[in-house]
Amino acid sequence: MMKKKILIIEDNEQNMYMLTYLLESNNYQVIKAFTGVEGIRVASESFPDAILLDIQLPEMDGYTVARNLRSIRELDSAPIIAVTSYAMVGDREKVMDSGADGYIEKPIDPDTFIQQMETILVEKRNSQHD
């Protein structure tokens, strides 16, 4: 079976390392981008199966990145999952309004992260088949 390709957009090296490790250990292929602009470029060139998106990014924040990604027609079916430490009331809505399909809170829990991600991917897939 072909490995699913996940694009990680994350500026923090430690988080990038952790997410890459978790995904590769679970048989996913990883593509990395350390800024939003780079992430949008990479996404439109390599058509990932899903995108993990940090919200707190330098220059262009994750909300803006999500809106940009959603404007790319070829990426319509690619789930965007925000991965962020923002835990304030209203942030979840702000994330979802910007075009994300789900939300995983930081700090990342290595024991549950993959399951959290796959739950969101399944929900997105099911909603597309309704």
Residues 6-35 that bind Mn ion (CB under 5 A): 11-12
35 vs 128 by CB, closer to Mn ion: 35
56 is an interface residue for Mn ion by CB under 5 A: yes
12 vs 26 by CB, closer to Mn ion: 12
How many residues interact with Mn ion (rule CB under 5 A)?
4
Q: Which residue has the tokens 């390599």?
A: 46
Which two three-digit tokens encode residue 62?
Answer: 């994750």
Q: What is the CB-side half-sphere exposure of residue 70 using CA atoms within 13 A?
A: 17
CA distance 117 to 49: 12
54 is an interface residue for Mn ion by CB under 5 A: yes
CB of 36 to Mn ion, least distance (A): 10
**Phi, psi (deg, nearest 5) at residue 41:** -65, -50
Q: Which residues bind Mn ion (CB under 5 A)?
A: 11-12, 54, 56
